[in-house]
């Protein structure tokens, strides 16, 4: 009889110890889970939203006299782009634009024109897609053209460094 009670006591003690160890490991797992989740939330919470306006300026002069469709030009971000007080896109980041349409100046006072389509921006070594089109037009010479249609032409379209134009982000950009 003593043997049976002792065995039952040992079984009871070992069962209680096993339950305590299992409960402790479950508590440790539950305690670790919120920490891991909050780390994920903090990392992914810092995104510049898609369609954010980014003011840019050309790095060099672009003129309708010298450009052809397909030519690529570099632009620079004019000011830091901030999100919640933090710099998401630093000033000076490079943006690439492509000439997608062009017409030269013509007789009758018609001015030269071209369009730049923004392709991508490089932020901290990573390229992200951009969108937006800017049309640059030269000044026409319509008053003079009325009197001397055969002799007068319009002016070429010119973009100078320092001229601000707008481009937009396509996707969210992490920062």
d(CA 103, CA 69): 10
- Asked if pLDDT for residue 36 goes beyond 80, the answer is no
Q: Between 41 and 175, name the one with better pLDDT.
A: 175
Asked if the model's pLDDT at residue 6 lies above 90, the reply is no
Residue-wise pLDDT tens digits, 99-144: 999 998 766 667 899 999 999 999 999 999 999 999 999 986 555 4
CB 34 within 8 A of CB 53: no
What would the 3-class secondary structure string for the chain be? CHHHHHHHHHHHHHHHHHHHHHHHHHHHHHHHHHHHHHHHHHHHCCEECCCCEEEEEECCCEECCCCCCCCEEEEEECCCEEECCEEEECCCCEEEEEEEEEECCEECCECCEEEEEEEEEEECCEEEEEECEEEEECCCCHHHHHHCCCCCECCCCEECCCCCEEEEECCCEEC
pLDDT over threshold 60, residue 91: yes
Q: What is d(CA 118, CA 73) in angstroms, rounded to the nearest whole number?
A: 9
**What is the predicted pLDDT for the residue at 139?**
80
């Amino acid at each position: 009889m003593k043997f049976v009670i002792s065995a039952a006591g040992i079984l009871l003690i070992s069962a209680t110890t096993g339950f305590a160890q299992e409960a402790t490991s479950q508590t440790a797992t539950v305690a670790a889970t919120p920490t891991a989740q909050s780390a994920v939330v903090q990392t992914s919470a810092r995104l510049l939203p898609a369609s954010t306006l980014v003011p840019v300026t050309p790095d060099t002069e672009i003129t309708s006299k010298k450009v052809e469709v397909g030519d690529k030009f570099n632009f620079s971000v004019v000011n830091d782009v901030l999100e919640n007080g933090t710099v998401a896109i630093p000033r000076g980041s490079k943006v690439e634009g492509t000439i997608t349409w062009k017409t030269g100046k013509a007789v009758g006072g018609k001015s030269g024109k071209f369009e730049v389509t923004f392709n991508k921006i490089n932020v901290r070594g990573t390229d992200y897609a951009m969108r937006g089109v800017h049309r640059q037009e030269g000044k026409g010479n319509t008053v003079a053209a009325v009197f001397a249609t055969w002799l007068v032409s319009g002016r070429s379209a010119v973009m100078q460094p320092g001229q601000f134009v707008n481009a937009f982000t396509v996707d969210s950009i992490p920062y």
